[in-house]
A and B are shown apart, each in its own frame.
Chain A
Amino acid sequence: GDSVTQMEGPVTLSEEAFLTINCTYTATGYPSLFWYVQYPGEGLQLLLKATKADDKGSNKGFEATYRKETTSFHLEKGSVQVSDSAVYFCALSVNRFSAGGTSYGKLTFGQGTILTVHP
């Protein structure tokens, strides 16, 4: 089945440091890839997405590139802020329409990475 593996956390950084959170996936078919962020006490918010190989998703200074050859979608930010402290989830979805069943793109999540940024 489909799966997503994220680097283990927690990750603790100083403000303005460079951030990388690794994410790799396995999937049958052609997945779309996502990063969601969860701030304390809130729900999951879409941070960025990429729907095909070599696409780069970007938002709020965060970037991730869909690498089909390495089945990866690593999240990066050049200079983190205290306000970036949150839990980050990598996820994939695949739409399947076949005699064996239909899947309308359920999300498969990684385990989440807690990021704490200190001033």
Chain B
Amino acid sequence: EPEVTQTPSHQVTQMGQEVILRCVPISNHLYFYWYRQILGQKVEFLVSFYNNEISEKSEIFDDQFSVERPDGSNFTLKIRSTKLEDSAMYFCASRTGLREAQHFGDGTRLSIL
């Protein structure tokens, strides 16, 4: 069964550094999402992406965050200048259509030192 894949599984970065989290959604999917889960807290929506543009973003998704789909297969989340509070598990998800469920990757654990 096709899967959403995320790399790396664990990223350790110094505060203030830029980080790029990578996702390869399922190939025929059209809608793409990023979520994050701070340890012990709820899974929170960050951003949705459709037709090569952001369709919705949360208050968390400020100017430090950006997303790209550079080559039709990868979907990346960039954090320009990381903060300690960015430490979390980041999940990518995708789906074919609006009536279908979202499929999640296994996540990237981001640790900011």
Binding site for B on A (CB under 8 A): 32, 34, 36, 42-46, 49, 51, 89, 91, 93, 95, 101-112
Tell me, yes or no, whether B103 is within 8 Å of chain A by CB.
yes
Tell me, yes or no, whether B86 is within 8 Å of chain A by CB.
no
Contacts of B48 in A (CB 8 A): 103-106
B35 x A107 contact (CB < 8 A): yes
Among B93, B99, B101, chain A packs the most CB atoms within 10 A around the CB of B101
Contacts of B33 in A (CB 8 A): 106-107
**Total interface residues in chain B, CB < 8 Å:** 27
Closest A residue to B99 by beta carbon equals: A51
Contact with A along B47-79 (1 / 0, CB 8 A): 010100001101000000000000000000000
B56 CB contact (under 8 Å) in A43, A45, A103, A110: A103
B43 x A43 contact (CB < 8 A): no
Contacts of A104 in B (CB 8 A): 31, 48, 50, 55-56, 98
B42 x A111 contact (CB < 8 A): yes
Cα separation A27 to B50 with both chains bound (whole Å): 23
B87 to chain A, nearest CB (A): 18
Contacts of B99 in A (CB 8 A): 32, 51
B106 x A43 contact (CB < 8 A): yes
Q: Known A89-B43, A106-B33, A107-B35; judge A44-B98 contact (CB<8 A).
A: no
Tell me, yes or no, whether B102 is within 8 Å of chain A by CB.
yes
Cα separation A95 to B43 with both chains bound (whole Å): 19
Tell me, yes or no, whether B25 is within 8 Å of chain A by CB.
no
A95 x B42 contact (CB < 8 A): no
